[in-house]
């Protein structure tokens, strides 16, 4: 089971790499740009990338581990009656409590970041669930109950509308898959907005969307290193860690609630984290 899943992921990764390389060659080769090609050729090329994106997104969403399927089923079950309601903090806290009652290690995470060139300040909330794989290693899953709305754009093209329609209202999955989806959707959104002659807002760029889900990279986050969160203790050494962030994004603050033995309130610099 694990072998076939790894093989599918390798094939999917190659598809994404091929797409990115195709995008790069299109931008650097003026003979293949939309401005210099015939309208028929440009439309064909746009349709080709649109279908490729749709297929890639569908594959990412289809390939799930047993743990992802289990968490996804629980989330869907609890959210079934939450139709068209606001995705408020209270709803997210309620869902976290439901998942904890199901025996899952769930947390409500809050992120915020300061304004930097090309990336305005912002904040976001999502749910984190820590699960164990078949080898006993802890894995971090992201649950975003307001996922699809993050990719809405003004006057979308038909191609972008078809692509965004493939997104689920609620995302449950690994961070690497989430980052790939964000990159693909932001690239498609840029094409759509340019085709409509519209400005690309900074909150629809990858740097802004990626800023919502960054995580710890050191032992301040035990499950990021395969430790069992059930056996984790809040020792002094375990509460010192660093924050994973790209060079152009600075983290201003982060909190976690309902996710373990205690609630934490922290202030960050670009270099690290201090837990109070």
Q: What is the mean pLDDT of residues 118-130?
A: 92
* Residues sharing a CB contact under 8 Å with residue 92, sequence separation 6 or more, in sequence order: 108, 125, 126, 127, 145
Torsion angle (degrees, nearest 10) of CA 13, 74, 127, 209: 40
Higher-pLDDT residue of 41 and 156 is: 156
Count of helices and strands (H, E) across the chain: 7, 7
Q: What is the mean pLDDT of residues 131-150?
A: 91
Q: What is the mean pLDDT of residues 111-128?
A: 90
> In this predicted model, what pLDDT tens digit does every residue of 42-68 receive, in sequence order?
444 455 455 677 888 889 988 899 999
Higher-pLDDT residue of 227 and 167 is: 167
Does residue 209 have a pLDDT over 60? yes
* Residues sharing a CB contact under 8 Å with residue 253, sequence separation 6 or more, in sequence order: 110, 112, 266, 267, 268
The predicted pLDDT at position 7 comes to: 56
Q: What is the mean pLDDT of residues 195-209?
A: 92
- Strands (E) across 66-188 are located at 105-113, 122-132, 138-144, 171-174
| Mean pLDDT of the residues in the chain | 72
> What string of DSSP letters covers 27-46?
HH-GGGSTTTS-HHHHHHHH
Check: pTM over 0.75? Answer yes or no: no
């Amino acid at each position: 089971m694990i072998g076939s899943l790894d093989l599918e992921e390798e094939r999917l990764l190659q598809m994404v790499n091929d797409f990115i390389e195709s995008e790069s060659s299109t931008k650097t080769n003026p003979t293949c740009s939309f401005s210099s090609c015939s309208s028929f050729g440009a439309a064909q090329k746009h349709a080709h990338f649109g279908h490729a994106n749709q297929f890639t997104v569908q594959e990412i969403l289809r390939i799930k581990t047993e743990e992802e399927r289990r968490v996804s089923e629980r989330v869907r079950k609890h959210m079934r009656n939450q139709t068209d309601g606001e995705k408020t903090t209270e709803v997210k806290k309620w869902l976290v409590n439901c998942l904890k009652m199901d025996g899952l290690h769930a947390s409500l995470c809050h992120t915020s970041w300061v304004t930097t060139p090309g990336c305005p300040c912002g904040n976001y909330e999502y749910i984190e669930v820590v699960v164990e794989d078949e080898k006993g290693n802890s894995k971090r899953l992201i649950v975003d109950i307001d996922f699809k709305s993050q990719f809405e754009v003004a006057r979308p093209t038909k191609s972008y509308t078809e692509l965004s329609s493939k997104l689920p209202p609620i995302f449950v999955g690994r961070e690497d898959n989430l980052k790939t989806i964000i990159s693909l959707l932001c690239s498609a959104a840029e094409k759509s907005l340019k085709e409509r002659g519209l400005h690309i807002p900074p909150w629809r760029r990858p740097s802004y969307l990626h800023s919502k889900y960054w995580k710890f990279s050191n032992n301040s986050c035990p499950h990021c290193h395969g430790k069992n969160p059930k056996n984790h203790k809040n020792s002094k050494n375990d509460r010192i860690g660093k924050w994973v962030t790209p060079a152009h994004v600075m983290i201003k603050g982060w909190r976690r609630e309902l996710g373990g033995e205690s609630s934490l309130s922290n202030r960050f610099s670009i270099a690290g984290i201090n837990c109070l």
